[in-house]
């Protein structure tokens, strides 16, 4: 049995704004049903009802201190099973970042405008996702993260958690599902790296003196493995953003073609094989 930590912004039926939601549900259910130890962590957005989904409080996951922006921001994590499955899911609660924002669009406010705190929201989510492992007493073998909102996680793992007993041995896989749809979210301010607790020396090493950085490009450079997942993965691979990263990094990226709603099991099986290959 292998252990997979599935870190995502969305999973059906709790939240979803693009293909990641259904993908997350089907692949984690497949891995769970064949006996793998797969666990999901997702922000508890304001539209995710604790009563409706029976999100339980867990004593050891209450008021977890996370150093962020030079102060301890307390986080609560609730636990539940994904409906009609035995998939263990954890829900990060933080009022100002997630729980009080009752918008089904996740990355945008109800008026359709991009939430300007997105870089802070998802950098904090990434840091608490890694911090939580100590409180879960769990050492997964692979961190699976996605797109721009999960791209900082491989960076955090290597720069801030490299000596952490629960993170140090794990590998990271960054999955890219879409590029153009999220182009407006890729440029993050330098201040985010300060907020997560990186020293000026580390920041200088990462982005030099730049005031902003492309979070996806940085994540691609730090991830141990990269997988392109799309109905037409070749189109994503051919994207200038990906081609530039491949040339700069000299990495070979895996690809996975989505087989559509009629054959999720095939997609899930192939994704599971990719995950196992990363552990070799």
Looking at residue 193, which CATH number applies to its domain? 3.40.50.2000
Q: What is the mean pLDDT of the segment spanning 206-225?
A: 95
Chain center to CA of 214? 16
pLDDT at 251 over 70: yes
Chain center to CA of 161? 16
Domain count, the chain: 1
Mean per-residue pLDDT over the chain, rounded = 93
* Domain carrying residue 198: 3-278
pLDDT at 144 over 90: yes
Q: What is the pLDDT of residue 240?
A: 86
Q: What is the pLDDT of residue 39?
A: 98
pLDDT at 119 over 90: yes
Contact (CB, 8 A) for 272 and 34:
yes
Spatial CA neighbour of 228 closest among 181, 274, 277: 274
In the chain, the percentage of residues whose pLDDT exceeds 90 is 80
Interhelix angle 264-278/20-33, rounded to 10 degrees, is 70
Q: First-to-last CA distance in the chain?
A: 14
- As given in the structure block, the two tokens for residue 185 are 């979210």
Q: Which residue has the higher pLDDT, 241 or 272?
A: 272
Indicate the pTM of the whole model: 0.95
Q: What is the pLDDT of residue 274?
A: 97
């Amino acid at each position: 049995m292998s252990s997979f930590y599935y870190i995502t912004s969305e999973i059906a039926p709790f939240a979803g704004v693009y293909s990641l939601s259904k993908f997350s549900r089907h692949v984690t259910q497949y891995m769970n049903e064949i006996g793998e130890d797969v666990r999901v962590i997702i922000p508890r957005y304001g539209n995710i009802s604790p009563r409706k989904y029976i999100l339980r409080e867990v004593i050891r996951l209450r008021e977890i201190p996370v150093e962020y922006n030079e102060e301890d921001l307390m986080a609560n994590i609730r636990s539940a099973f994904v409906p009609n499955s035995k998939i263990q899911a954890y829900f990060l609660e933080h009022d100002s970042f997630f729980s009080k924002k009752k918008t089904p669009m996740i990355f945008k406010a109800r008026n359709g405008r991009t939430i300007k705190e997105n870089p802070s929201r998802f950098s904090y989510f990434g840091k608490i996702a890694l911090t939580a492992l100590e409180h879960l007493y769990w050492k997964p073998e692979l961190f699976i993260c996605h797109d721009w909102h999960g791209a900082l996680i491989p960076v955090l793992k290597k720069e801030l958690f490299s000596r952490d007993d629960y993170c140090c041995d794990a590998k990271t896989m960054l999955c890219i599902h879409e590029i153009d749809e999220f182009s407006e979210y890729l440029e993050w301010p330098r201040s985010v790296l300060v907020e997560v607790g990186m020293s000026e020396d580390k920041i200088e090493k990462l982005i030099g003196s730049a005031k902003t950085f492309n979070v996806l490009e940085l994540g691609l450079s730090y991830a141990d493995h990269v997988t392109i997942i799309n109905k037409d993965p070749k189109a994503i691979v051919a994207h200038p953003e990906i081609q530039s990263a491949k040339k700069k990094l000299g990495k070979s990226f895996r690809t996975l073609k989505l087989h559509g709603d009629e054959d999720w099991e095939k997609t899930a099986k192939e994704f599971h094989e990719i995950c196992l290959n990363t552990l070799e």
